[in-house]
């Protein structure tokens, strides 16, 4: 079948614990046949607790077992203690359900395959796929209907390309890459030379490189370099509706959430995380292990290990304080205007005719305790 199955393989809690390297507290023979969220899990379901703010739900959950990160007392359901509950739950999902399985169709007679294209063993090429001249497809690949792969492009082993995707000429796609539906790889970068008020297109003669184990979300656009390569590093995951501009380089194992825009020639280090709708200007460098909060606007380079937020993006601790003040800005503006008005009135009172000191009365001009001249005689 070509979709993820709703059925699962039944396992005991002991078998699951052995699979994830965890410890069971409770009945190890508890039978698990499905997975669910903590609030929706029922008898026979396994779930997980990764955030302590949901701990109270352990008192009410109907789950068959819960994966937790530490030993806990007074819990009425069996527990599976694992170092990383979320990752352990991921392993359990794979154990119970597996990944999406693809229908074995072989090479469809309705696919349009150039005579010079080369296809590896155990590949499945669906209806209306087009493989242009000199395309190279590795072993065990699956290419869904209406995919177009341009001249000279190379695809590694075990790669899956979902329906209606376009991969332009001379791109290089690694092994075990997943490209979701309607993505465009290798389109022209947004490059124009403006002369006398006219925008002249610059030939985009570079390419795109997707390294091994990359995943590209639906409807993404990865632009080819003007002269060199646009690179998405190995193991990086790109969400839906992301645009990566010409000549940009995304380091290994980065996470780019939906609707991010990265302008041309920007460079990201390894293990970066960009939240939804982040915008990154071109020609800047973002270091390794950088986290950028959702909707941030990044206009300057960021050193390694920083966490930033806001537009323009600044250190997250400063951003939180700044954004926490926003609801109070109208009142603060009114208070400042009131203080300005009071200050103007006080200044006028001190400097105006009614407020001038009458120095003709020398009793006011002399310090307290001074002696009148006649008293001194």
Task: Render pLDDT for 157-191 as a digit per residue (tens, 0 to 9).
Answer: 999 999 999 999 999 999 999 999 999 999 999 99
Range of the domain at 77: 11-97
62 and 128 inside one domain: no
The answer to whether residue 335 scores a pLDDT higher than 80 is yes
CA gap 186, 224 in Å, rounded: 4
CA gap 279, 262 in Å, rounded: 6
| Chain-centre distance for alpha carbon 67 | 26
147 and 174 inside one domain: yes
Higher pLDDT, residue 31 or 358: 31
Which of 272, 288, 321 is the C-terminal boundary of a domain? 321
Q: What is the pLDDT of residue 9?
A: 85
227 and 251 inside one domain: yes
Q: Are 141 and 126 in contact (CB under 8 A)?
A: no
Nearest to 239 by CA among 179, 161, 326, 195: 179
- DSSP character string of 59-91: GT---SEEEESS--SS-SS-EEE-SSHHHHHHH
Q: What is the pLDDT of residue 350?
A: 92
Distances (CA, A) of 351 to 340, 355, 356, 362, 367: 16, 6, 6, 20, 22
40 and 142 inside one domain: no
The answer to whether residue 374 scores a pLDDT higher than 50 is no
Task: Render pLDDT for 241-267 as a digit per residue (tens, 0 to 9).
Answer: 999 999 999 999 999 999 999 999 999
Q: Cα torsion at 283, 288, 294, 296 (round to 10°)?
A: -40
Domain membership of residue 129 (yes or no) is yes
Domain membership of residue 213 (yes or no) is yes
Q: Cα torsion at 178, 115, 120, 230 (round to 10°)?
A: -40
Q: At what angle do helices 13-20 and 85-97 cross, to 10 degrees?
A: 120
- The 8-class DSSP code of residue 212 comes to T
91 and 188 inside one domain: no
Domain membership of residue 122 (yes or no) is yes
130 and 227 inside one domain: yes
| Chain-centre distance for alpha carbon 150 | 29
225 and 277 inside one domain: yes
Domain membership of residue 81 (yes or no) is yes
Percent of the chain exceeding pLDDT 70 equals 92
**Count of domains in the chain?**
2
158 and 256 inside one domain: yes
Q: What is the pLDDT of residue 151?
A: 98
Q: Are 36 and 63 in contact (CB under 8 A)?
A: yes
46 and 143 inside one domain: no
Domain membership of residue 48 (yes or no) is yes
Domain membership of residue 118 (yes or no) is yes
Q: What is the pLDDT of residue 74?
A: 85
What CATH number did the domain enclosing 53 receive? Answer: 3.40.1390.10
Catalytic (active-site) positions: 246
CA gap 335, 337 in Å, rounded: 5
Task: Over range 218-222, report the average pLDDT.
Answer: 98
Surface-to-core class of residue 371, CB atoms within 10 Å of its CB (0-12 exposed, 13-18 middle, 19+ buried): exposed
- The dihedrals phi and psi of 236, each to the nearest 5 degrees, come to -80, 150
117 and 74 inside one domain: no
Which of 74, 97, 120 is the C-terminal boundary of a domain? 97
The answer to whether residue 12 scores a pLDDT higher than 50 is yes
Domain membership of residue 183 (yes or no) is yes
What CATH number did the domain enclosing 174 receive? Answer: 2.160.10.10
Task: Render pLDDT for 31-56 as a digit per residue (tens, 0 to 9).
Answer: 999 999 999 999 999 999 988 888 98
pTM: 0.86
Task: Over range 197-202, report the average pLDDT.
Answer: 98
- The dihedrals phi and psi of 291, each to the nearest 5 degrees, come to -115, 130
Q: What is the pLDDT of residue 204?
A: 96
């Amino acid at each position: 079948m070509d979709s993820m199955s709703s059925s699962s393989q039944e396992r005991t809690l002991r078998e699951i614990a052995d699979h994830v390297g965890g410890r069971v507290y409770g009945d190890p023979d508890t039978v698990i046949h499905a997975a669910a969220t903590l609030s929706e899990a029922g008898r026979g379901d396994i779930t997980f607790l990764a955030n302590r703010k949901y701990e109270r739900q352990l008192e009410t959950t109907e789950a068959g077992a819960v994966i937790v990160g530490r030993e806990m007392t007074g819990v009425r359901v069996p527990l599976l203690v694992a170092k990383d509950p979320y990752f352990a739950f991921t392993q359990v999902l794979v154990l119970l359900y597996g990944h999406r399985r693809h229908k074995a169709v072989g090479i469809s007679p309705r696919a349009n395959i150039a005579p010079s294209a080369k296809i590896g063993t155990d590949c499945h090429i669906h209806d209306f796929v087009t493989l242009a001249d000199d395309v190279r497809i590795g072993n065990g690949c699956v290419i869904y209907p209406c995919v177009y792969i341009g001249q000279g492009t190379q695809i590694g082993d075990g790669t899956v390309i979902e329906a209606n995707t376009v991969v332009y000429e001379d791109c290089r796609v690694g092994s075990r890459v997943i490209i979701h539906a309607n993505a465009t790889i290798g389109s022209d970068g947004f490059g124009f030379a403006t002369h006398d008020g006219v925008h002249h297109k610059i030939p985009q003669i570079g390419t795109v490189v997707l390294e091994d184990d990359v995943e590209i979300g639906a409807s993404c656009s990865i632009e080819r370099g003007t002269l060199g390569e646009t690179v998405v590093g190995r193991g990086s995951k790109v969400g839906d509706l992301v645009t990566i501009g010409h000549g940009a380089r995304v380091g290994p194992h980065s996470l780019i959430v939906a609707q991010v825009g990265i302008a041309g020639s920007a460079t990201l280090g390894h293990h970066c995380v960009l939240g939804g709708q982040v915008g990154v200007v071109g020609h800047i460098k973002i270091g390794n292990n950088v986290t950028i909060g959702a909707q941030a606007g990044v206009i300057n380079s960021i050193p390694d290990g920083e966490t930033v937020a806001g537009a323009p993006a600044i250190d997250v601790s400063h951003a939180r304080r700044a954004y926490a003040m926003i609801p109070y800005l109208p009142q603060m503006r009114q208070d400042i205007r009131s203080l300005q008005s009071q200050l103007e009135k006080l200044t006028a009172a001190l400097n105006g005719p009614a407020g001038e000191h009458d120095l003709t009365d020398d009793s006011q001009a002399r310090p307290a305790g001074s002696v009148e001249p006649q008293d001194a005689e």
